A and B are shown apart, each in its own frame.
Chain A
């Protein structure tokens, strides 16, 4: 990297773009700048090392060394835990570097799990996976704040999701609603908010911007017990919530790849609409009677109110002109769902029109912002809609073929026009 940078300076010097003095100043500046990338890399490798060692210990202990007496096994259960606790205590007391804290914290996380697993193994305690995971996470959550550990926040979030899946989905376990998932999230969220405020553009924030919505998307279905039809609206509202969250001034200004809420919200909304654009969904799946008093209704209400609140906040901050159709889908879909439910025929037609509008909207947003990704995303929505309709309409092959050709031509044309517009804009500058 450095040699490339020096080559560039030499090139600028030879071309007489910068003076010798300026070249020297630039070189001095970069030489004296503290090198943060090396320490970051060291932290990453230390954390990876601790994770592998921790997981390795769990596997070694899971082997079940049946020729060891109970006393030795019990000592082995506590030994890694005490060692890890010593390292964490040492890092806190001696105010060691970030690398020390992250690595020892992750190591302690895994040794807490291995210790409980070995005790359960020695005494043949069955206990289902979810209760084991819950105790494990609860014992380690304070470490996030004590060590200010980003990695522990991620690991805890991943294991919290694992717990909710084990509790809500996995066969042979409790099969209930993982309400405690919300409590665990509530403990992690303040740390996330603190990070957002302090380090908006840090990589850790970007990772969490993706992990939080992903976790919620995975877990939400476990909150659906008997009212499966309402699950559809719950997901549309959740994605509406993500999209509106991603549109908040704080998130809207960051790059798209760092804004997991906006991307997942948009993709999720389109996916749910495409799914419900099939007639059979309304005839076969969404035909159960809705229990107004079920837990799904309350979860749905919370999601709807949150999404609406975020939409309203966006309106207050940036005015009505800044809002787009994606932000209103959860309201429109909820309306269609509850009217379509009572035997009306228009939902399918309406949803198809809505998807088409969303596609056009994305093309427009892409064109306005000169963003090829968004533009092609819009075109892609339209293509998928056409492909989907081929499954349930009796259209002749010629017409289908012509439609595909015209959409293909549309792809080329829009991209070509946009490229020309962009070039023209750059020339004007």
Chain B
């Protein structure tokens, strides 16, 4: 094969290599720009990813719901329809295996974590359960939330999530309306 042909194929590879991360960015930006914002009450713990760094894993308080439908299978897709409760936090209106044409509420596409038949509990795995943080702050964030719980302070930790047509983007995690990274910094001072 001639050098120029190899180079042209390489240019195609370059375009695809640039397109993939660019498309990831465009999708997320579109959700942030046009999506509806929800506050998900959460509790963070800090694992780490070998390539992407430290993050806090977010356990959402609304991820467990009671349902008599026992046919849910692990990892199956689930459409979660959302609404806001009286305190302004996200609340599940209903869940479904398919998109409900007659339901006008905002929905997010998640997956089934598990279903426990003995207490009819369905656990949902939301696709925004990671919040990446500076390596020095992730563990401190977990401790800060735990200390607040120990001191019986009002549970005011939530994730700010933009939702648009099934897609969701987590932009921040806040404690008492202060971004968690600033909250941890403040605590350190």
A residues lining the B interface (CB < 8 Å): 58, 61-66, 74, 77-78, 81-82, 85, 88-89, 92-93, 95, 112-126, 129, 132, 135, 139-140, 142-143, 146, 174
Interface membership of B169, Cβ < 8 A:
yes
Q: Is B28's CB under 8 angstroms from A92's CB? A: no
**Whole-angstrom CA separation of A318 from B51 in the bound complex:** 50
Number of interface residues of B (CB under 8 A): 38
**Whole-angstrom CA separation of A179 from B128 in the bound complex:** 27
> Quick one: given A119-B21, A124-B128, A124-B132, are A62 and B16 in contact (CB under 8 Å)?
no
Q: Is B51's CB under 8 angstroms from A113's CB? A: yes
Contacts of B55 in A (CB 8 A): 121, 124
Interface stretch (choices B7-15, B63-71, B80-88, B91-99): B7-15
**Whole-angstrom CA separation of A64 from B130 in the bound complex:** 14
In the complex, how many angstroms separate the beta carbon of A312 from the nearest chain B beta carbon? 37
Which residue, A81, A113, A121, A126, has most C-beta atoms of chain B within 10 A? A126
B residues lining the A interface (CB < 8 Å): 3, 6-7, 9-11, 13-14, 16-18, 20-21, 24-25, 28, 49-55, 75, 127-135, 137, 169-171, 181
Contacts of A124 in B (CB 8 A): 55, 128, 130-132, 169-171
In the complex, how many angstroms separate the beta carbon of B117 from the nearest chain A beta carbon? 20
Residue of B nearest to A162 (CB): B50
**Whole-angstrom CA separation of A152 from B106 in the bound complex:** 45
Q: Is B24's CB under 8 angstroms from A143's CB? A: no
Residue of B nearest to A115 (CB): B21
Residue of B nearest to A110 (CB): B51
In the complex, how many angstroms separate the beta carbon of A69 from the nearest chain B beta carbon? 13
Contacts of A114 in B (CB 8 A): 51
Contacts of A123 in B (CB 8 A): 24-25, 28, 169-170
Residue of B nearest to A77 (CB): B21
**Whole-angstrom CA separation of A174 from B175 in the bound complex:** 32
User: Which of A77, A92, A119 sits near B7, CB closer than 8 Å?
Assistant: A92
**Whole-angstrom CA separation of A115 from B50 in the bound complex:** 14
In the complex, how many angstroms separate the beta carbon of A111 from the nearest chain B beta carbon? 9
Which residue, A63, A121, A135, has most C-beta atoms of chain B within 10 A? A121
Q: Is B9's CB under 8 angstroms from A116's CB? A: no
User: Which of A64, A92, A95, A116 sits near B21, CB closer than 8 Å?
Assistant: A116
Q: Is B25's CB under 8 angstroms from A119's CB? A: yes
Residue of A nearest to B27 (CB): A123
Contacts of A113 in B (CB 8 A): 51
Contacts of B11 in A (CB 8 A): 89
Q: Is A64's CB under 8 angstroms from B132's CB? A: yes
Residue of A nearest to B161 (CB): A124
